[in-house]
Amino acid sequence: MSTLVPPLFAGLVDDASLLPPGIIGTSEALAAHTKHRDSWYSGLIGALLVPSSLVKLDLSPRGLAVGVVNDAAIGALPAVVAKLRAAGSDVARVEAAVARRGEDPQPGLSALGALAVETPDLDVYAEIPLSWGLLAGLDTVAAQRADGLRIAPKFRVGGLASELFPTPVELAAVICACRDRNLPFKLAAGLRHALRHTDPETGFTHHGFLNVLVASAAASDGGEVAEVAEALAATHPVPLVEPARSRRSEPRPLWVGFGAFNVLEPLTELIRLGLINGGYE
């Protein structure tokens, strides 16, 4: 009997093999994604993330679940979605940055809100910088959701500079702010490994995806910023594995998920931590 992925990890990892800095070819990425979809661990895998610039991509087989990540003008997204759907892709999500760091996110949020109105069957994720204007931006997203729009925030928690990595307290405050506004959220960048760690090559300390999962659960249970930050700061599996294990049969609270260039890496780490049973039984 195939070992199923527990509900806590369902759809946690999107396939980001077509996004920068990936170097894999399109045909190879599609073949690998199809293999993942046909595997025993398919429940872990979310959408195949596709840059909006690849609108001519032949996304066979038909019905492939796709998330469009915008790398052009927001106004061009409806045409991109239409082209991919005409090619047979199951486009259910778009993700787009609404501003650069230090810029006002409100104009971009208005543009994405218009997209959500125009395409009400899409889940729209607005990437809001973790800088000036963040809380006001979250208030705007909450108001848009209250109006019935399928829009939610996305945050980048890594990159090529140290200031792009929020501290545990900073990220905890963001998670609690989403909790307080009843906002699910996505994360991007830097979440390659399960546990918080320092990259020996760059010296940057990355957040762990298991840390984020446990921290989001703590926030959902009413935890304050300090408690949520404690989960984010853990570098050893002991304080994280049992809280995750105890919730394996429950849906994941607050956090929608993240993208990984190689989805087998988070799968392997979850197996090593005993949170997913590998192979067959």
pLDDT digits (tens, 9 = 90+) for 92-144: 899 999 999 999 999 999 999 999 999 999 999 999 999 999 999 999 999 99
pLDDT value of residue 84: 84
Q: Is the pLDDT of residue 251 over 80?
A: yes
Split at pLDDT 50, 70, 90, the class of 281 is very low
| 265 close to 195: Cβ distance less than 8 angstroms | no
Q: In sequence order, which residues have a C-beta less than 8 Å from that of residue 99 and are 6 or more positions away?
A: 105, 107, 108, 128, 129, 133
Q: Residue 2's pLDDT is what? A: 45
pLDDT tens, position by position, 150-191: 999 999 999 999 999 999 999 999 999 999 999 999 999 989
CA distances (Å), 191 to each of 8, 39, 201, 280, in order?
A: 17, 23, 16, 27
- Is the pLDDT higher at 257 or at 87? 257
The pTM score is 0.94
Instruction: For the chain, give the percent of residues with pLDDT over 90.
Output: 78
Pick 24 or 90 by higher pLDDT.
90
Is the pLDDT confidence value at 24 over 80? no
Which tokens go with 51?
């840059």
Q: Pairing state of beta strands 197-198 and 205-206?
A: antiparallel
Instruction: Identify the pLDDT of residue 83.
Output: 86
Structure tokens at 204: 């940057």
Q: What is the pLDDT of residue 57?
A: 59
Name the band, by pLDDT with cuts 50, 70 and 90, for residue 56: low
Predicted confidence (pLDDT) at residue 280 exceeds the cutoff of 50 = no
Say how far apart CA 62 and CA 85 lie, in whole Å. Answer: 9
Average pLDDT over residues 216-233: 98
Instruction: Give the mean pLDDT of 13-34.
Output: 86
Q: How far apart are CA 64 and CA 269, in angstroms?
A: 26
